[in-house]
Amino acid sequence: MRKSVFFGLLIGLSLIVGCGPGVVKTVAERRNTYKEVMRADMRQLVDDWDTLWLADRQYRLTRWQMR
């Protein structure tokens, strides 16, 4: 009984703590991550806009698979 309570507390504590403070990004790394995500989102925005307005017409004579 004691062992099961101990292991239950150990597992519960490990779930609460997680990876701990050893894996933390610095402020500069976080800014760089946000900048890269925004850059990728802006590149995809053009495709989303064309899809919204149906401006990307599908052609039969292309060698690439179209949507």
Q: Could you give the 3-state DSSP secondary structure of residue 19?
A: coil
Residue-wise pLDDT for 35-45, tens only, equals: 999 999 998 88
Global pTM reads 0.44
Specify the number of domains making up the chain: 1
The answer as to whether 46 is a domain residue is: yes
Domain boundaries, position 54? 23-58
Residue-wise pLDDT for 2-35, tens only, equals: 888 887 888 877 777 665 555 678 889 999 999 9
The answer as to whether 64 is a domain residue is: no
Q: What average pLDDT does range 61-65 have in this prediction?
A: 66
The answer as to whether 36 is a domain residue is: yes
The answer as to whether 37 is a domain residue is: yes
Structure tokens at 57: 């017409």
Q: On the CB side of 22, how many CA atoms lie within 13 Å of its CA?
A: 4
